[in-house]
Amino acid sequence: MDHMYRELVHKYPKEKRYTLAMLQDIQRQNGFIPKEAMEYISEYLNLPMSHIYHLATFYKALSLKPKGKYVIKVCNGTACHIRGADSIKEELYNILGIKPGETTEDGLFSLEIVNCLGACALAPVIVIDNKYYGNLTKEELKSVIDQYKGAEIYG
Ligand code: FES
């Protein structure tokens, strides 16, 4: 059977202990683990889907859902926490309608909560696609998100 995961999976011997390595490779290449990839591994290794699924959900670095085009990281380190990270988080939940680990329906934004982003002097801080936004207020947040939405609409 020819398949887009063939090359990746067949690099490894048909042994159960390579399951995680295969999943990691697929995550790296694809950004997430599609169901078909798990099915392919399950067939190749002759292991039940439940085993593959369990591994894929157990490890935090693996994701079963595609990430949004823009990944928003909200810092919840000590400095940011003291300077209002909670209200930033709440406001983002309102604006985007998603919780951490989720992606908006239009596929534009994913949300992650992280520890110190190394820019405590700018607390509270968020990062969108490696761009830092510091000393953020709730009001600014809305316009920052709108910029990204606007970039989509107007190119
Ligand atoms: S605690 Fe947020 S950047 Fe350090």
Report CA(47)–ligand 1 centroid distance (Å): 43
**From the CB of 96, is ligand 1 less than 6 Å away?**
no
Q: Do 77 and 51 meet the contact criterion of CB atoms below 8 Å apart?
A: no
State whether CATH 3.40.30.10 applies to domain 70-154: yes
The confidence score (pLDDT) of residue 131 equals: 95
Domain ranges of the chain: 6-58, 70-154
pLDDT of residue 1: 42
Within 10 angstroms of residue 93's Cβ, the number of other Cβ atoms is: 14
Q: How far is the CA of 122 from the centre of ligand 1 (A)?
A: 8
| pLDDT at 143 (0 to 100) | 93
> What's the confidence (pLDDT) of residue 155?
59
Counting beta carbons within 10 angstroms of the beta carbon of residue 42, is it exposed (0 to 12), middle (13 to 18) or buried (19 or more)? Answer: middle
Rounded average pLDDT per 10-residue block, the chain, 155 residues: 78 96 91 92 96 92 88 96 96 94 90 94 95 94 92 72
155 to each of 19, 72, 120, 148, 151, how far by Cα in Å?
A: 41, 20, 33, 10, 5
**What pLDDT sits at residue 144?**
95
